Structure 1
Amino acid sequence: MKIPSNHSLCPVLLCLGFICLTMSVQNSIRVERNQSMHLEGEKQAHHRPKRGWVWNQFFVLEEHIGPEAQYVGKLHSNADKGDGSVKYILSGEGAGSIFVIDDSTGDIHATKSLDREQRIHYILHAQALDRKTNKPLEPESEFIIKVQDINDNAPTFLEGPYSASVPEMSEVGTSVLQITATDADDPTYGNSARVVYSILQGQPYFSVDPNTGIIRTALPNMDREAKEQYSVVIQAKDMAGQIGGLSGSTTINITLTDANDNPPRFPQKNYQLYVPESATVGTAVGKIKATDPDIGVNADMKYSIIDGDGLGIFTISTDKDTREGVIILKKPLNYEKKKVFTVKIEGENTHIDPRFWNLGPFKDAANLKIIVGDVDEPPVFSVPFYIMDVYENTKLGTVVGAVTAQDPDNTKNLVRYFMEHNEEAESYFNIEANSGVIRTMQQLDRELTPWHNITVIASELDNPSQLTQVPVAIQVLDVNDNMPELSEDYDTILCENAKPGQVIQTVRAVDKDDFANGPRFYFSFVEGFPPNPNFTLRDNEDSTASIMIRQRKFSRHLQEVYQLPVVVSDSGTPILSSTGTLTIRVCACGRNGKVRTCSAEAYLSAAGLSTGALIAILLCIVILLGAAEQSDVGSEEDEEIMYGLKSQFPNSPSLHIT
């Protein structure tokens, strides 16, 4: 018999006595029932002689612990006259091992203790034989032996221990969990498997429904922040909870889950923060934190600056991981201008549970005093960059300009100036250490370098490591120190048949000086000489001039080349001028103005050919002229070409004039 070891001895003995009494009564009932059946069988034998078995369904109590085999029942055949001539044979499930039969009387006994929870019945077959002939007296018959239940199994919780959760501040009676105990005893027989539940541990916080096993909250307003974990022990007892019933228990670990029933709170109402004036804009300069006993999203909050004279100087962000307010510098600080700021910071929950609005606003505020710390700052220049100018060609030591820097600290340390090392810049300029005055070291040439870029450094006299640099751009201003010139060496072709007033060349001028000292340009012939009888000049008033013919006719035989001096003047102060010479070559031209015969230089100029190309052309012409000369064929044009070539190459043996 399976009895849990945790039960006391008295209930066990009481249970055993009850079982023994029950077995005795049942056996008596079975004997009377079998005898009655036997008599009825004899009466019926007169009417149905072919049916001689007398038997019924048998029962055997489980967990039999007596010293003798347990009597099950009796089989009897009408053919049995009690003289021992009938032999009973038992076969089937458990026959011979569990169940034995007295082959003379038909009495059946169970030799072993049975467990209904392992097997509830056995199917056996009985046969009556003539002991002498061993022939069946009755047809073989089947019968069932059922194992009758006793309360030998305690209720068990198959899934324990259990874990469950319920929101804090839940109403009384809120369902937490339903648990179920199972009892292996027969639920259809007595109260052996009828279970009731009770709570052994966990009161007064929780209760259990005795019939359903549903666990519920029993106290109002259970606060997770006060106690989060509860261990509840539930007992299940069979026999409907009566004395002598068996029981089992299990543990339920119940956790109160968080609800947002607590607003954030700053531990202090007033805080103080030190920030050096050298702090970089955009960086974090401090942190502040409000506490919230809730957890998870219920403790999430956001911070904001809602008031104070530092509202535009500082801002605050929320670190979601640490739930801290990070104070960030928004604008530069200056100790000399403002030494203290105050801000009012608010921390507010981001997830509000409407059930707890009555607890008040889920936010809190604190005052923060920010003290600006004085830092030894480097000198500060009056402007972020300097642009200066100086005329070119000025004498050494000319003042270009001055830079100014001051120590922004209250100490107002003296400042010294020097130039960043640059060989080229140092060759042109120097700076006075005390005054910051920049002077020239040599004459400047705008046409060579129109701009000079230098870097000036200011440092504190008492702390040279505190220094600042500033860029200085120096523009070299122009003076009229370059004469204008003709834009090129003009080599002009003049046809012999050119007409008076005809423009044979347009000239232009250039000047290295800038626009103020250059154009507009003026053109003229050299003064002090009589007017040129061959050419005249017209100033076009657009920095160009036109060269025109004065006489009616030119002859290359009389003069092949003319040199024409032209004076060009600029508009600067003082006015500068120079004289350029035009080379004018006289050539024979057709009526359409196309050059027919000219000097080699003129051909070169007119055709735009190189000297090598011109020599090759001339050699071809010489060959052709030689062939024409042998055939006595010629023309005036040929003579002109030959004349030009001969004059150009007087020592050539292949050229001659006819």
Structure 2
Amino acid sequence: MCVWWGPVVRVLDLGLEAGEAEARRLRLVSQGRRASVEVSGASGALVVSSRLDREELCGKSAPCALRLEVLVERPLRVFHVELEVTDINDNAPLFPAARKNLSLSENIPPGSRFPLEGASDADIGANAQLSYAISPTEHFTLDVKSSDDNRKSLFLVLAKSLDRETLPVHRLVLTASDGGRPSLTGTMELVISVLDVNDNAPQFNQSVYKVQLPESAVERTLVVRLNATDPDEGLNKEFSYSIVSSVPAGNTDLFRIDPKTGEIRLTGALDFEDVRLHELQIEARDKGHALPEQHTKNFRTQGHHPL
């Protein structure tokens, strides 16, 4: 015979008269997996004495059946009883980890796809049918593919270009919901670190530097200290200063720039009657690979005759 979880099998189902169960020593013998099922000696009813866990008893197998033998003495008879344990939605979807870390370069093109591991659910049937969603974001979408065996493949899709300088880390929540009523959910945090590429050139804090020096200024006089910054990181933000040209041409030997600090100092004597205006073209170049177009800014020194 087959019964669902919950109802009681009584002695009448075994063909016994009321009151015979105790006199004929009705007892229960379980086969295979043990279950919390007992026989009431007085009434002969099969009762569930503690909660049955279908997942513990049968895992993903469906249907889940408990096969029991009921023995009756005087005379000896054996009854075969089969209990089917039906599933309830008592297990939430479970991801393999609470958090997944991803590292993506900021120059990855939109449309790029990255596989994600889905959740599992110990229940069966509709209670184990999972759907997925991610928290709202303009940079990523979720693509879910279903195979013929009803398994789902997850892909994180880049929808908008990344910019490490604007947002170096994206934190998303991936949610799995089962088909039970009510539905149960499980979550996994996605931590996406944006890796730097050399997409920013050094920038000076001024487009033009103007300085006045007397022609009596001695050698090693500090002319100006330049200041540039680079929002990249690592080697991509390390840069050096250099003088690339001068007006009049050939006067670069009159000035020296420290490649690290950006300090420009005199290396010779100024002559107001010879040259009244010196113009220098300064370059700041970083040490990263695949450099963008170099950024240069004008630096001018303007001399005058002392009073």
TM-score normalised by length of structure 1: 0.37
Please give the alpha-carbon distance, in whole angstroms, between the structure 2 residues aligned to 1:163 and 1:373.
62
Q: Relative to 1, partners in 2 of residues 1:362 and 1:288: Cα closer, same or farther, differing over 3 Å?
A: same
Q: How far has the Cα of 1:373 moved from its partner?
A: 9.5
Q: 2:142 maps to what in 1?
A: 208
Secondary structure (helix, strand or coil) at the match of 1:153 reads coil
Q: How far has the Cα of 1:149 moved from its partner?
A: 1.8
Q: Relative to 1, partners in 2 of residues 1:87 and 1:226: Cα closer, same or farther, differing over 3 Å?
A: same
Q: Relative to 1, partners in 2 of residues 1:341 and 1:81: Cα closer, same or farther, differing over 3 Å?
A: closer
Q: How far has the Cα of 1:197 moved from its partner?
A: 1.0
CA deviation vs aligned residue, 1:451-472 (integer Å, no higher than 9, x gap) = xxxxxxxxxxxxxxxxxxxxxx
Q: How far has the Cα of 1:89 moved from its partner?
A: 0.9
Aligned counterpart in structure 2 of residue 369 of structure 1, from 297, 300, 303: 300
Contact 1:277 1:372 in 2 (8 A): no
Please give the alpha-carbon distance, in whole angstroms, between the structure 1 residues aligned to 2:12 and 2:167.
73
Secondary structure (helix, strand or coil) at the match of 1:298 reads helix
CA deviation vs aligned residue, 1:33-59 (integer Å, no higher than 9, x gap) = x3xxxxxxxxxxxxxxxxxxxxxxx56
Q: 1:287 maps to what in 2?
A: 225
Q: 1:342 maps to what in 2?
A: 279
Q: Relative to 1, partners in 2 of residues 1:297 and 1:145: Cα closer, same or farther, differing over 3 Å?
A: farther
Contact 1:87 1:104 in 2 (8 A): no
Q: 2:48 maps to what in 1?
A: 110
Q: Indicate whether 1:137 and 2:76 are aligned.
A: yes
Q: 2:171 maps to what in 1?
A: 231
CA deviation vs aligned residue, 1:449-501 (integer Å, no higher than 9, x gap) = xxxxxxxxxxxxxxxxxxxxxxxxxxxxxxxxxxxxxxxxxxxxxxxxxxxxx
State percent identity of aligned pairs. 25
Count of paired positions: 283
Contact 1:122 1:145 in 2 (8 A): yes
* Greater percentage in helix: 1
Aligned counterpart in structure 1 of residue 254 of structure 2, from 313, 330, 334: 313
Q: Relative to 1, partners in 2 of residues 1:303 and 1:295: Cα closer, same or farther, differing over 3 Å?
A: same
Please give the alpha-carbon distance, in whole angstroms, between the structure 1 residues aligned to 2:290 and 2:4.
65
Contact 1:100 1:109 in 2 (8 A): yes
Give the structure with higher Rg (CA).
1
Partner amino acid for 2:170?
Answer: Y
Q: How far has the Cα of 1:217 moved from its partner?
A: 0.9
Q: How far has the Cα of 1:181 moved from its partner?
A: 2.0
Q: Indicate whether 1:333 and 2:269 are aligned.
A: yes
Q: 1:128 maps to what in 2?
A: 72
Contact 1:349 1:362 in 2 (8 A): no
CA deviation vs aligned residue, 1:311-360 (integer Å, no higher than 9, x gap) = 112233432xxxx534355x343568877643211223433438xxxxxx
Q: How far has the Cα of 1:145 moved from its partner?
A: 5.0
Partner amino acid for 1:318?
Answer: P
Q: How far has the Cα of 1:371 moved from its partner?
A: 5.4
Q: How far has the Cα of 1:190 moved from its partner?
A: 1.4
Partner amino acid for 2:136?
Answer: Q
Contact 1:86 1:104 in 2 (8 A): no
Partner amino acid for 2:141?
Answer: S
* Greater percentage in strand: 2
Secondary structure (helix, strand or coil) at the match of 2:97 reads coil
Which structure 2 residues correspond to residues 172-321 of structure 1 after superposition, within 5 A? 172-176=110-114, 178-185=116-123, 189-202=124-137, 204-210=138-144, 211-219=152-160, 221-239=161-179, 244-273=182-211, 277-280=217-220, 286-308=224-246, 309=248, 310-319=251-260
Q: How far has the Cα of 1:251 moved from its partner?
A: 3.5
Q: How far has the Cα of 1:148 moved from its partner?
A: 2.8
Please give the alpha-carbon distance, in whole angstroms, between the structure 2 residues aligned to 1:197 and 1:163.
18
Q: Relative to 1, partners in 2 of residues 1:163 and 1:277: Cα closer, same or farther, differing over 3 Å?
A: same
Contact 2:97 2:188 in 1 (8 A): no
**Of the two structures, which has the highest relative contact order with CA contacts closer than 8 Å and spacing of 6 or more?**
2
Please give the alpha-carbon distance, in whole angstroms, between the structure 1 residues aligned to 2:13 and 2:299.
109
Give the unaligned 5+ runs of structure 1. Answer: 1-33, 35-57, 62-69, 131-135, 355-360, 375-409, 412-658
CA deviation vs aligned residue, 1:577-613 (integer Å, no higher than 9, x gap) = xxxxxxxxxxxxxxxxxxxxxxxxxxxxxxxxxxxxx
Q: Relative to 1, partners in 2 of residues 1:59 and 1:311: Cα closer, same or farther, differing over 3 Å?
A: farther
Q: 1:71 maps to what in 2?
A: 7
Please give the alpha-carbon distance, in whole angstroms, between the structure 1 residues aligned to 2:114 and 2:120.
20
Partner amino acid for 1:137?
Answer: L
Secondary structure (helix, strand or coil) at the match of 1:156 reads coil
Q: Relative to 1, partners in 2 of residues 1:306 and 1:327: Cα closer, same or farther, differing over 3 Å?
A: same
Partner amino acid for 2:210?
Answer: Q
Which structure 2 residues correspond to residues 512-531 of structure 1 after superposition, within 5 A? none
Q: Relative to 1, partners in 2 of residues 1:94 and 1:76: Cα closer, same or farther, differing over 3 Å?
A: farther
Contact 1:198 1:209 in 2 (8 A): no
